[in-house]
Chains A and B, each alone.
Chain A
Amino acid sequence: MPQKDLVVSIIPVLIVLAPLLGAAGAMLADRYRPGWRNYIVIAGSAVPLLLIALIYPQVVEGHYIYQHLNILPPMGMVFRVDMLSLYVSLIFAFFGVIFTIYSVGYYHNREGGRRFFYLLLAVIAGCLGVALSGNMFTFFMFFEFMSVLFVPMVAYKSTPEARAAGLKFFYMTIIAGVLLFWGVAITYWETGDLSFGQGGLIETASPLIMVAFFCYLISFGIKASMIPLHFWMPDAYAAAPTPAAALSSSMMLKTGVLGLIRVFHDIYGLDFLQEVGWNNVLLVLAVTSMLYGSLCAIAQDDLNRRLAYSGIAQVGYILLGLSLLTSQAFVGSLYHIMAHAFMKGGMFLCAGVIFVNTGKKKISEMRGIGFQMPITMIAFTIAAVSSVGIPPFNLFVSKWHLGYGALQAGMPVLIVVLILSSILNASYYFPISINAFLGCRELKNIERQRLLVHPLRMIPVILLALGAAAFTLAPSNWPLNLARAIASIYF
C-alpha cells in the first residue's frame, strides 16, 4: 500500500490525553470545587470529539496523521490515524460524550457516582487510544489499559454478584492479555515489524503464525464476546451500572472487533488469509454467535441480560461481515459497528432510565411502563424496530450490505441465517415494546401516571433514537460513505 502524505501532528496524543486530564480534573474538583465536577467531566469527553473534527478534513483527503512518542523503549508509542481509525474514533468519541452526559444524569441525586466518572473517562481514553494506535504494540498497551480499568466498573456496585462478575471479567481480561501478548510477540519475532497500514506483514504460513492467529482470535474474541468466549458478558452487564454496560456494548466490544480487523487486514493481509482460509473459523463462530446469542436472549427475563445476549448476536453480524472477506460485507460490518452502537447503546440507556426511575429490572414487571415513560419506551421501540432491519433504520443498511457480501462470497445460505436471526430479534424485542404500551387496560390510573425523568438522562436517549434513522434519511449517508472509503482502501 503506498504511503501517502504523512502529517506529523500531536493531535492524536491530545485526543487520548484529554479524557485522562478530564478525569484528573474531576478528582481535583471533587476535592476543592464539587460544583465544577460535572462540567469538567463533560468537557473532558467532548474535547476529543472537537479534536477529531479538526483532523477530519485531512484524513478524508487521504493523509495520515502520525505521531511517534519515544516513551516505553524500545518500541515507543505510535499513533497513526487512517480512515479506519478516524471512523472508529469518531464513533467512540461521540458515544463517549453521550455516555458521559448520561452518567451525569444517572448519578444525579444518587449516591456513589464519584469514582465512576474517573473510571468512565479513563476507559474512554483507552478506547480512543485503541482506535488511534499505529502499531500492534500500542494497540496492545491501550487495550490492556482499557480492559483492566473496566474491571472496577463492572464491580462498581460492590454487591456479591457485582464482585463475582468483576472477578470473572478480570480473569478473562488476563487470559486475553496474555494471549494477545503472545500473538504480538510471535508476530514481531517472525516479521520484525508491527506497524499497521502496509497491507499485511506476513508472507508465508508456518505453525507459529497459525498459533499467533488463534491467539489474536481468542484474545479479541473474548473482548468482542464471541461464542464460545462470551460467558463473562451477561453477568458483567447485569451487575454493572447501566452506563458501564452501555459503554462496553457500544465501545469496548468494538475494540475487539477493531483488533480483528487490524489482524485480518494489517497483520495478515487479505491475500494471505484467502490462501490459508483461516477466516472460515471466524465465519463458523460468527454464525454460531448470531443464532445462539439470539436464542439465549429469548430466555432471559432480566432486561440487561437480554440486551447482553442480543449483543452477542449483533457482534456475530459484525464478525460475519469481517470473515467473509468481501468488500460489501466489510462495508456492512463497519456500518454495523455504528448501527449497533446506536441501537444497543440506546436500549441500555432506556434500561437505565427505567431502572433509575422505577427500580424495575425484570421484563415481566414492565407491563404498561410505556404509560409512565412514553418517550423512553418510544425510543426503545425505535431501537427494537431498527434491530430487526426494517427500513429506514440503520440496521437495514448494514444487513443489506452483509447479505450482498454473502452473495459475493457465494454463500446465499448465510442470508437465511441473517433472516432467521432477524426474526429472533423481533421475537425478543417486540414483546417488551408491546407490553409497555398495549394489553394493559386493567392498569390502575396511578400506574399510568407519567414519571418525570431528569433531562440529562433523557437527552442522550432521544439523540440515540434519532440516530437510528438520521443517517439513512439524510441526503447522503455519511457513515456509509466513510465505510465505503475504508473498504476501498483494503479491497
Chain B
Amino acid sequence: MEYEVVHTLLPAIIIFVPIVAGLAIFFFPNRLYPYKEHICVGITGFFFALVLSMYPAIKSGKILIGIFEYFSFPLSISFKVDQLTFFLGVFLSFVWFMAACFSPGYMANEHKKERYYAFFLMAEGGCMGTIFAGDLLGLFLFFEFMALTTYILIAHEEEPVVMFAAAKYLYMTVGGGLSVFFGMLLIYYLTGSVVFNRPGLITEPSGLATTAFVAFMLGFGLKAGMFPVHVWLPDAHPAAPSPVSAALSGIMLKTGVYGMIRVAFNIYSPEYIKGAGWDDYMLAVAVITILLGSAMALLQDDLKRRLAYSSISQIGYILLGVFLLNEQGMVGGLYHLFTHAFMKGLLFLCAGAIIVQTGIRNISRMKGIGLKMPLTMICFTIASLTMVGIPPFNGFISKWQLSVASLEAGQPLFVAILIISSLLNAAYYFPIVIAAFFATEKNGHHADALPEESGHPTTGSGKRWQEAPWHMVVPMGLLAAGCVVFALMPQNWPWELVVEAARSLFSM
C-alpha cells in the first residue's frame, strides 16, 4: 500500500508547544505561579487535541512530514507522523493529559510546584519529540532531552533515598544515551544517513553493524527497562511523585520500545535481523524480562515498587511481540503497549491517591482500604483485571494476539510463558484487591501498625470515607474506562490503529 506524503510543519511545531510553555513557567515563576496548574493541564490537553486533529489525514493514508531545517547539526532534523507514530502519539499524549490532571491534587502539599510543572511539560515535549522524530538524530536529541528533564522530576522530593535513586537513573540514562550516540555514529559511517526508511539502511552484514545493533539495544533497552539494564527502574519509579511514576512507567518506557522498533524496522530490516539470528537473542531477553519482572514483583511490599517490577515484566510482553518479527506479533506488541500505558498509568495514579489520602505505601497495611476509598480501589481492580488478561479487558486482547502470533511463528513455548506470567500477575495483584475489599483489621489496628505520619488522616478502623477528591478520581476513571470501553464497542478503535501501524511497518 502506498502512502501519500504531505509536507507540513505541524508535527514539528506541536512538539515545541509544551516545551515553550514549560520554559515560560520556569523562567517567569512570579508572574505565572498562580496559573501553573491551569497551564500544565491546559497545554497537555491542547497537545492531545492537536495530535487528534491529525487523525483525518492519517486515516486517509497520508504521512505528515516536516523537515526542520532550522537546526544545523551535522545533519538536519525531520519530523514525521505516520500510522505508527500517530497511534503512539494519540494514546501516550492522552496518558500525559491524565497524569497532568491528576497532578494538582497530588502535589497540593509539595514544594517547588513551579519547577515540577515546568519540567513536567518539558518532559512531555521531549517524549513526544522522540516519537515524532523522523530520523535517528532527532529521536536521539529528544530522547536525551526527555531523559534529563525527567531526572528533575524523579528527584523532586529531594529526600536522600530519592536523590540516590535519581542519581542512579541519571548516570545510567547518560550511559544509555551515549550508547545510542555510538550506534548512530556507526550507522552514519556505514550508510551516510540516519533517516528512517523502509527497507532498512543496513543491508550488508559487518562487525560494525552488529556492534551498532548491540549499542542500540542497550541504549533503548535501558530506557525501556529491559533485562539486564533494568536496574535503575525499580528504584526510580517508586521514588518519583506518583503522576511522574505514571508517566515514567506508562509512557516513557515506551519510547525505549519505540526506539527499538525503529531500529529493527527502519535502520535494519526484519529480514536482516532474522538472517543474522538476532531475533532469537532478543526473544530470549524478552522472556527473561517477563519472568524476572513478575517474580521480583511478587516479593515487594512497597506498592509502587511492585508496580515498577510489574512494568518490567509487561515491557517483556511488548518486546516479545515486536521481536517475533511478524505482523501478528507486532499487532499484539503494539496493542499491549497501549494497554499497558493506560493500565500502568492508572495503577500508579491509584497508588498516588492512596499515598496522598492515607500515607500508606506498603501493601501489608492496605487491608480494608477499599471501603475507605472505593472508587480508587475499583479503578485499581479494573487495572488488575486488565493486567491478568481477563476478557473483555484490553489485556485479554493483547495476550490473545500475542499467543496467536507465537503459534504462528511456531513457538508454542511462548504461550506457556504468557500463561505462567499471567498467573504470576494474578498472584501479585489479586491479593491487594481482595485485602482491600474483604479483609478487616482486628480491633481497628493492624497488628504491626506503624505510627502515622503527621499530616495524614489516621487509618483506623471503620468505613470512614477517605476517597480522593473528584479532580483526582476523574483522570483515574477515564483511564479505567479506557481499559475496557474500546473492547466493548462495535469497532475497536485502537485495534484499527494498531493494525494500520503494523501494516505500515511491514509494507515496503
Contact = CB atoms under 8 A, between A and B. Distances in A.
Whether A associates with B in a native complex is yes
Interface stretch (A215-223, A354-362, A472-480): A472-480
Interface string A406-425: 01100010011001001100
B407 to A, nearest CB: 41
Given A415-B182, A438-B155, A439-B160, A397 B171 contact: no
A149 interface: no
A19 interface: no
Interface of A is mostly: helix
A430 interface: yes
Contact of A423 (B148, B166, B167, B175): B175
B112 to A, nearest CB: 9
A426 B71 contact: no
Interface string B145-173: 00010001001001010010011001100
A412 B155 contact: no
Please classify how large the interface on chain A is, using the bins under 10, 10 to 19, 20 to 34, 35 or more. 35 or more
B211 A412 contact: yes
Interface stretch (A45-53, A95-103, A387-395): A387-395
A389 B178 contact: yes
A43 interface: no
B73 A472 contact: yes
A306 interface: no
A385 interface: yes
Interface string B202-214: 0000001001000
B352 interface: no
Interface string B65-101: 0000111111000000000000000000000000000
A142 interface: no
Contact of A439 (B140, B163, B178): B163
A419 B163 contact: no
Interface stretch (B51-59, B183-191, B256-264, B267-275): B183-191
A403 interface: yes
Given A389-B178, A419-B178, A473 B70 contact: yes
B111 interface: yes
B229 interface: no
A480 B174 contact: no
A389 B188 CA distance: 17
A397 B73 contact: yes
A250 to B, nearest CB: 23
B144 interface: yes
A390 B146 CA distance: 12
A400 B163 contact: no
Contact of B185 (A388, A392, A415, A472): A415
A412 B480 CA distance: 49
A66 interface: no
A473 B16 CA distance: 14
A476 B71 CA distance: 8
A427 interface: yes
Nearest to B178: A419
A439 B157 CA distance: 8
Contacts of A342: none
Contact of A422 (B74, B160, B167, B178): B178
A416 B163 CA distance: 28
Contacts of A396: 73
B315 to A, nearest CB: 24
A419 B70 contact: no
Contacts of A480: 72, 74
A407 B208 CA distance: 10
A427 B144 contact: no
A441 interface: yes
A473 B71 contact: yes
Contacts of A391: 73, 137, 140-141, 144
A336 interface: no
Contacts of B182: 403, 415-416, 419
A403 B180 CA distance: 13
B211 A385 contact: no
Interface in A453-491: 471-477, 480
B181 interface: yes
Contacts of B171: 423, 426-427, 430
A404 interface: yes
A102 B46 CA distance: 44
B321 interface: no
B395 interface: no
B70 A441 contact: no
A331 to B, nearest CB: 9
B370 interface: no
B86 to A, nearest CB: 25
B186 A419 contact: no
Contacts of A416: 182
B18 to A, nearest CB: 17
A434 interface: yes
A262 interface: no
A208 interface: no
Given A391-B144, A441-B158, A472 B71 contact: yes
A235 B396 CA distance: 67
A404 B171 CA distance: 24
A228 B171 CA distance: 29
A19 B264 CA distance: 58
Contacts of A419: 175, 178-179, 181-182
A413 to B, nearest CB: 10
Most buried by B among A401, A427, A439, A440: A439
B141 A404 contact: no
Given A390-B144, A412-B211, A426-B171, A474 B72 contact: yes
B177 interface: yes
A472 B179 contact: no
Nearest to A426: B174
A440 B111 CA distance: 12
A396 B140 CA distance: 11
Contacts of A434: 155, 163, 167, 170
Interface string A187-227: 00000000000000000000000000000000000000000
Contacts of B166: 438
Interface in A54-109: none
B344 to A, nearest CB: 26
B181 A397 contact: no
A299 B19 CA distance: 36
Given A434-B167, A438-B163, A423 B174 contact: yes
B124 to A, nearest CB: 19
B72 A407 contact: no
Contacts of B141: 391-392
Nearest to A399: B181
Contacts of A474: 72
B74 A397 contact: yes
Nearest to A474: B72
A404 B189 contact: yes
A391 B180 CA distance: 12
11 contacts: A390-B174, A392-B71, A407-B189, A407-B208, A415-B185, A426-B174, A434-B163, A434-B170, A438-B158, A472-B71, A475-B70
Given A400-B185, A473-B72, 7 more contacts: A397-B73, A400-B74, A423-B178, A430-B170, A430-B171, A471-B72, A473-B70
* A-B pairs with lowest CB-CB distance, top 10: A477-B72, A407-B189, A419-B178, A403-B185, A439-B163, A391-B141, A426-B174, A390-B144, A439-B158, A441-B158
